[in-house]
Amino acid sequence: MSDRLSGKVALVTGAARGQGRAHAVRLASEGADIIAIDIAGPLPSEVPYDSSGPDEFEQTLATVRDLGRKVVGHMVDIRDHAALKHAVDEGVAGLGRLDIVVANAGVCIPATWDAVTPEIYDVTMDINAKGTWNTVMASAPHLVTAGGGSIILISSYAGKKVQPFMVPYTASKHAVTGMARAFAAELGRHDIRVNSVHPGGVATPMGGPGIIAALESASVTAPALRTMGTTFLTQTYAEPEEIASVVAFLASDESKFMTSEHIGVDGGAHHF
């Protein structure tokens, strides 16, 4: 890897495993020190897959250290604005600055429209939308102090088109897409770029058996929707490292005149 992020500090939420770990490791391999955030504990009962745990979070931290980079880790729920702000402030105090933010943490709860409960809606919006807002609000002032930087919001294929059988998830990821535009407009005067990344299917625990079973159960109610999100390529899903490559580009000066962009990494699925 290059040293194109040498001297930079990056914040990554949802860093214990999956895409978050891939982002943290890739940015560290490019020279960045890392502030890693993850709940690393039980998720709400509505979420159909197991949460990450402290052991997985420690594995991420150890991998970053093995790359020769500094890392500060905090086990925090991004829904808790005060706790998240405290963790970010402590991380910046320890590492000296903040230049890059990757708001990655999120959840996905498939269900047909008429099976969505108020609890499912609230959990999805609170983590995916409010949690992303909390992350930007806790971190952006440090980028202003640094004289600029890059904020990368992880949205989804569902933030460009629609993910069938996921009304709250689709709503939350469209909210993230809108936040990228709105924050880009206001933070641009501080030389802070804000872009969103839109993965399709990714080989992570979120895309594991629990999600697949829930989608299969829901899809029998509307079989015609099953083909939505089909890729144009023979590759049908991404590895986390493929998403991290795009994140690293957006974090670097190679994209220094890009802001308010919404980059699909889904094999063309949002066009199908």
List the catalytic residues: 169
CA distances from 179 to 23, 207, 262 (A): 20, 25, 11
Q: How far apart are CA 270 and CA 272, in angstroms?
A: 6
Alpha helices in the chain (DSSP H): 18-29, 54-66, 81-95, 118-124, 131-146, 167-187, 209-219, 240-251
CA distances from 84 to 13, 90, 218, 221 (A): 10, 10, 35, 40
Which stretch of DSSP H or E encloses residue 99? none
Which string of DSSP letters, residue by residue, matches 126-147? Answer: IIIIIHHHHHHHHHHHHHHHHT
Of 44, 116, 121, 48, nearest in space to 78 by CA: 44
